[in-house]
Structure 1
Amino acid sequence: METCSEYIKNAFPTIDDDLKQYVEGVLQNGADDFEDSEEVYEAVGEVLQEVASDKTEEDIRNICNDLLTMLQPNKSKASNGSIKTLNAPVHLANMIDNNDSGIDDVKSIWMMKRDETLKVDAKKLEKAEAKLQGKQDRRTKETKTVAAPKLETATASQVTSKKESKLEAKGNNRTQDIRIENFDVAYGDRVLLLGADLTLAYGRRYGLVGRNGLGKSTLLRMISGGQLRIPSHISILHVEQEVVGDDTLAIDSVLQCDTVREELLKKEKDISAAINAGSQDPELNSQLSEVYVQLQNIEADKAPAKASIILNGLGFTSEMQQRPTKTFSGGWRMRLALARALFSRPDLLLLDEPTNMLDIKAIIWLENYLQNWPTTLLVVSHDRNFLDTVPTDILHLHSQRIEAYRGNYEQFEKTKTEKLKNQQREYDAQMQQRQHVQEFIDRFRYNANRAALVQSKIKMLEKLPELKPIVKETEVVLKLPDTEPLSPPILQLNEVCFRYSPSDRYIFTDVNLGATMESRICIVGDNGAGKTTILKIIMGILSPVQGMRHVHRNLKFGYFSQHHVDQLNMNLNSVELLQQAYPGKPIEEYRRQLGSFGVSGDLALQGIASLSGGQKSRVAFAQMCMGRPNFLVLDEPTNHLDIETIEALGKAIKKYTGGVILVSHDERLIRMVCNELWICGNGSVKSIEGGFDEYRKIVEQELEAAANAK
């Protein structure tokens, strides 16, 4: 490790000793286990990036590659040419004949002449080699014909009535309801919506649901971007991009959304400054009085308290509200964007997976807050509990159209199931009637006495409405790898304490927890409480400052986190991605692996950049499981997955024969699979009795206490 130590010191001259010792410890502990430089980067890359602002991510990856070479010199030598591959067959018999040494000792068993009758027939050998070459050529051709990535864009077209166009042109269209009729949306060559209609009544809350990749997020972008036209007087806010980080305080960032208040305050400040400067303009006092009246009418003095309540509900403490936006991570800036939207109250609020960035406490607060939302809300969500609590209506996107249902998601499921049953009964009845009438026609077609009756039956068949067979959505099935049982103990944390540096506070102390191959553990807690940190200690990515971590020698972790989805190579397609991660396997095996996670057919050959968030998650799952782990560590696995896939994931976890620890805020998944709950917070990680019901009760009590304190 001396070479590594010197290399780190030279590459990072500003690194402090404690951090350097920490990096060296991680490298030393994992020296034999690192498969490639990517694993070295995952272990120490983020830490090294923090102490080297002058280096790019590519620089850090190159350094990690050099460190791997130092840690595993034997692998490096082997790859530098000590193993040679012959480019032509070697005929040992000729070697014997040409051996002039005459020393019998040299002619070992490998240099003795063989019986000629044992030789392989030359023609058969030639035929076999030709067959093998043909197979290799086909495989190479199949690999090369994988579609090149193509980044496509979404387009929309819409038919508007002359009446609405005239009203819009005259400025007389004051309706608050939104009607988008007969519109199409396409993504590249793929049609997502065809001749669809969408009606949003003012004051109602709509949940937009449907399978991954059908165009829900695209539809929201088409509305907010103006490609689908709505009355110009209706204000729209789409929470999609995080707030830009600058010196603006978090609370001020929210208050600035109220442009009317901001303009009045600026006007009040300018007039007051003019009066204080000695201006003799008699109009200034009356203008100032008018501004004060307007500020009073909009209750401007209550705005800071209102903004603070929203920020607090989304997890911002009083201290955090006074921090500049540039000090927050991307996830917290997305929360700020949501807070700004809730504060400004547009006529139409568009939310795309708002619960992805929130912990359970913030989700419960948001559910309660949106139940009293005064304007129109259109939200895409796959959180089943959220969809049961917030929407007044469900919009179901399927088969290139949108169907509206009254009620929440539970009511939608019941209504949809009953509707499909009725449609199937109607279809079956008509098919039976058609068959009966057709049999009569076929039987008496050439009977002159029944000719008139046959003709009337033929006309009757022609007038029957054409009913199409009911096409049910295919059931989503996910298949996790089979595992071999391991004898306990499997995983144990004893008296574990952790902090990132001696100057930091302890994130948690005295952690005593264990897991088995039957474990289905969910870790819950506020954002920033250390959930991801405890996962990394469990996997050995981070080492405890105090205490011990014991794992079975044959335990193989499979780690899924949202940043793995974001870091997929967008220039490849799914098959190429697996080829790169696990080279040397037949194409069929990669496609079979992707197919077990619902990425099949042309989808597997589609560029990853063009996949939806849920489809990218499935690809990341397929990549993780191809390594055949026997213990899964899942950090927010449901983000971007549709409801059916979350349900399938829950079933797959229940069938899985290895252990599972997951961090999730999806209440339905937690209730479905978890038999143990760990709460992370207040400097500890503890298992609680009573499961999720007990935890939800604790959270609701905390929210109630916070509301009363306000």
Structure 2
Amino acid sequence: MITLKKLTLRRGPKIILDKASITINPGEKVALVGRNGAGKSTLFRLLDGTLREDGGDFTLPPAWRLAQVAQDMPETEASATRFVMEGDTRWLEAQREVEAAEAGEDGMRMAHAYMALQEVDAHTAEPRAQTLILGLGFKTEQLHQPVNSFSGGWRMRLQLARALMCPSDLLLLDEPTNHLDLDALVWLEAWLQRYDGTLLVISHDRDFLDAVTRVTLHLTGAQLTRYGGNYSTFEDLRAEKLSLQLAAHQKQQDKIAHLQDFINRFKAKASKAKQAQSRVKALERMERIAPVLTEAEFTFEFQEPLNLPNPMLSLRHTDLGYPPSTAEEASLEESSLPRTILHKVSRSVQAGERIGILGANGQGKSTLIKTLAGVLTPLNGEMIQGRGLTLGYFAQQELDVLQPEDTPLAHMIRLAKAAIAQGKGGWVQGREQDLRNYLGSFNFTGEMLAQRVGTLSGGEKARLVLAMIVWQRPNLLLLDEPTNHLDLATREALSVALNEFEGTVLLVSHDRALLRAVCDEFWLVTGGGVQDFDGDLEDYQRFLLEEAKRARAA
């Protein structure tokens, strides 16, 4: 088992753990939760041996094999299959021994090497690797493409597949869902549910945590608290605990006030002095119950749209895709497909609709959103915008709309100037102090206002994009994976804001909690077209699993 006993862990001057104690039993599947910056990833560095404890005791079974997702971007000409196969350290070691024996023409060594290769099930290494790659959303024709030919997000999927390929007793996963579509996410959940080892996972996807974990460790205030149950159970138990703590704190404060009042009234009275002194000692001995200090919540809201054209957008017999000049620049989702991704699409977006866009990886969800946002031009047919349409577009890659060298304040100033030039004022005036105050409502304060966007965290970039969208007072929101890098508190704030938004929403997301909370209907992008999906998200997950089975059989 893993044990931390009165353990102190520092990262620079910051104390991550202060005499914390916890036990994790073999085979447990554990969610590590806490606000951004609490030190969750730093705790992982203790578990993988990168950091050492600063005090107390830390034990991890020495025979345990560790697997985790490498954070570096792989640069290699090796094929996707070979790269993932090398994640099986036993197979790789045996394979290298075979190669060395053959190079030395040592018959006895070759015999032992081939025996070792057989013992590690070398004949299953390639199909095992390819099952992982296909499960994470790659296509059959990509199995033998070089790793360097894939974009960054897809290389990180290969790093995840490589970690899953590694035989392990302890698996550490830090935000494994960030680069996954919903179909790959459902597959990963099923794989992790079958995993026999001990799992620790950091994630901001509550449905994922609920499906995979059965223990929750909460890191807050440099302490670790263990809760039995998944994330939803943890929330319920913690809310109950905070409620009891608040009641106990209030009761103690009343008692303290009563004792202090007695002391103040009778400390100078000789007949009561002894009793007053006993109450002073009682106050000194009393172990104070801390007040409930909940983590600061982040909230925002969309302003009421100035108008609601109806229909907002219409596609009529429209072909969607990439023209020849940009086909090579398209994301991998579309670049491996024909130039025309979606054929003869006829769809209408009505005022007030809340539509979730579903579809397996590579079917063209982002192509649809980019076309509706005006990033891509329809190849054929026509797209008609309603009069007075104001779009708010959240790109899957935040930097698509951000300038890495500019500051958050510079982005807002440029946005305000463009709005004024177009005769739009937004709902906030364009004065610099107004813009500073506005950014402050999205937690951009002080030095952050002048910080280069390229140095911000993923969550901070996403918040900046949300701030820019809200300022423009849109009546149609096109959101392509808006929750990537957002913590649970910010996801909850986004969900609340979208539910109160009076305009129209089209949402692509692998966050099922957000889809479930926001969307009233679903479109399914599949087979080169767009159709209504008659069912809920549970029906869709079953649909994905059936499709995956058919694909594996084929």
TM-score (norm 2): 0.86
CA distance in 2 between counterparts of 1:536 and 1:413 reads: 37
CA deviation after TM superposition for structure 1 residue 655, in Å: 1.4
Instruction: Sort the Cα spacing of 1:695 and 1:268 in 2 relative to 1 into closer, same or farther, 3 A.
Output: same
Instruction: Sort the Cα spacing of 1:221 and 1:682 in 2 relative to 1 into closer, same or farther, 3 A.
Output: farther
CA deviation after TM superposition for structure 1 residue 457, in Å: 1.7
Contact kept? 2:156, 2:179, Cα under 8 Å: yes
Q: 91, 115, 129: which is aligned to 1:307? A: 129
Instruction: Sort the Cα spacing of 1:572 and 1:672 in 2 relative to 1 into closer, same or farther, 3 A.
Output: same
Equivalent residue, structure 2, for 1:468: 290
Q: 260, 280, 303: which is aligned to 1:458? A: 280
- 1:597 lines up with 2:442 in the alignment: yes
CA distance in 2 between counterparts of 1:257 and 1:222 reads: 22
Equivalent residue, structure 2, for 1:586: 431
The 5 A counterparts of 1:382-401 are 382-401=204-223
Equivalent residue, structure 2, for 1:691: 536
Q: 359, 370, 388: which is aligned to 2:192? A: 370
CA distance in 1 between counterparts of 2:391 and 2:15 reads: 38
Cα deviation, 1:538-571, whole Å, max 9, x if unaligned, reads 1233222222211113212111113224764455
Contact kept? 1:491, 1:514, Cα under 8 Å: yes
CA deviation after TM superposition for structure 1 residue 634, in Å: 0.9
CA distance in 1 between counterparts of 2:374 and 2:400 reads: 23
CA distance in 2 between counterparts of 1:444 and 1:369 reads: 70
Equivalent residue, structure 1, for 2:375: 541
- 1:257 lines up with 2:83 in the alignment: no
- 1:665 lines up with 2:489 in the alignment: no
Cα deviation, 1:502-560, whole Å, max 9, x if unaligned, reads 79453111211111220211112122211111112212332222222111132121111
Equivalent residue, structure 2, for 1:165: none
- Structure 1 window deviating more from structure 2 (448-457 vs 218-227): it is 218-227
CA deviation after TM superposition for structure 1 residue 576, in Å: 3.9
Equivalent residue, structure 2, for 1:440: 262
CA distance in 2 between counterparts of 1:258 and 1:373 reads: 15
Equivalent residue, structure 2, for 1:108: none
Q: State how many pairs are aligned.
A: 524
Instruction: Sort the Cα spacing of 1:567 and 1:513 in 2 relative to 1 into closer, same or farther, 3 A.
Output: closer
Contact kept? 1:185, 1:219, Cα under 8 Å: no
Contact kept? 2:408, 2:449, Cα under 8 Å: yes
CA distance in 2 between counterparts of 1:224 and 1:685 reads: 45
CA deviation after TM superposition for structure 1 residue 618, in Å: 0.7
CA distance in 1 between counterparts of 2:137 and 2:6 reads: 36
Equivalent residue, structure 2, for 1:484: 306
- Greater helix proportion: 1
Q: 193, 197, 202: which is aligned to 2:20? A: 197
Instruction: Sort the Cα spacing of 1:394 and 1:176 in 2 relative to 1 into closer, same or farther, 3 A.
Output: closer
Contact kept? 1:245, 1:328, Cα under 8 Å: no
Equivalent residue, structure 2, for 1:624: 469
CA deviation after TM superposition for structure 1 residue 683, in Å: 0.8
Instruction: Sort the Cα spacing of 1:401 and 1:612 in 2 relative to 1 into closer, same or farther, 3 A.
Output: farther
Cα deviation, 1:627-674, whole Å, max 9, x if unaligned, reads 332211111001111112112111111211222112111101001011
What amino acid is the match of 1:535? I
Q: 336, 343, 363: which is aligned to 2:165? A: 343
- 1:332 lines up with 2:154 in the alignment: yes
Instruction: Sort the Cα spacing of 1:689 and 1:587 in 2 relative to 1 into closer, same or farther, 3 A.
Output: same
Equivalent residue, structure 1, for 2:251: 429
The 5 A counterparts of 1:34-113 are none
Instruction: Sort the Cα spacing of 1:176 and 1:651 in 2 relative to 1 into closer, same or farther, 3 A.
Output: closer
1:582 is paired with a residue of what secondary structure?
Answer: helix
1:510 is paired with a residue of what secondary structure?
Answer: strand
Contact kept? 1:477, 1:598, Cα under 8 Å: no
What amino acid is the match of 1:619? L
CA deviation after TM superposition for structure 1 residue 450, in Å: 2.5
Contact kept? 1:677, 1:692, Cα under 8 Å: no
CA distance in 1 between counterparts of 2:438 and 2:113 reads: 66
CA deviation after TM superposition for structure 1 residue 431, in Å: 1.3
- 1:574 lines up with 2:408 in the alignment: yes
Equivalent residue, structure 2, for 1:115: none
CA deviation after TM superposition for structure 1 residue 298, in Å: 2.1
Contact kept? 1:594, 1:600, Cα under 8 Å: yes
Equivalent residue, structure 1, for 2:426: none
CA deviation after TM superposition for structure 1 residue 299, in Å: 2.0
CA deviation after TM superposition for structure 1 residue 602, in Å: 6.1
Equivalent residue, structure 1, for 2:354: 520
Equivalent residue, structure 1, for 2:35: 211
Cα deviation, 1:278-328, whole Å, max 9, x if unaligned, reads xxxxxx444333323322322222222221221121122332212221222
Contact kept? 2:9, 2:15, Cα under 8 Å: no
CA deviation after TM superposition for structure 1 residue 335, in Å: 0.7
CA distance in 1 between counterparts of 2:319 and 2:196 reads: 47
Structure 2 residue runs of 5 or longer lacking an equivalent are 328-337, 418-428
Q: 504, 509, 520: which is aligned to 1:675? A: 520
CA deviation after TM superposition for structure 1 residue 252, in Å: 0.7
What amino acid is the match of 2:510? H
What amino acid is the match of 2:543? I
CA distance in 2 between counterparts of 1:475 and 1:274 reads: 65
CA distance in 2 between counterparts of 1:601 and 1:401 reads: 29
Instruction: Sort the Cα spacing of 1:513 and 1:221 in 2 relative to 1 into closer, same or farther, 3 A.
Output: farther
What amino acid is the match of 1:354? P
CA deviation after TM superposition for structure 1 residue 196, in Å: 5.7
Contact kept? 2:462, 2:486, Cα under 8 Å: yes
Identity %: 37
CA distance in 2 between counterparts of 1:399 and 1:565 reads: 33
Contact kept? 1:178, 1:201, Cα under 8 Å: no
Equivalent residue, structure 1, for 2:183: 361
What amino acid is the match of 1:526? A
CA distance in 1 between counterparts of 2:402 and 2:15 reads: 25
Contact kept? 2:408, 2:452, Cα under 8 Å: yes
- Structure 1 window deviating more from structure 2 (299-308 vs 642-651): it is 299-308
CA distance in 2 between counterparts of 1:500 and 1:456 reads: 83
CA deviation after TM superposition for structure 1 residue 412, in Å: 0.6
Equivalent residue, structure 1, for 2:332: none
Contact kept? 1:196, 1:402, Cα under 8 Å: no
- 1:184 lines up with 2:10 in the alignment: yes
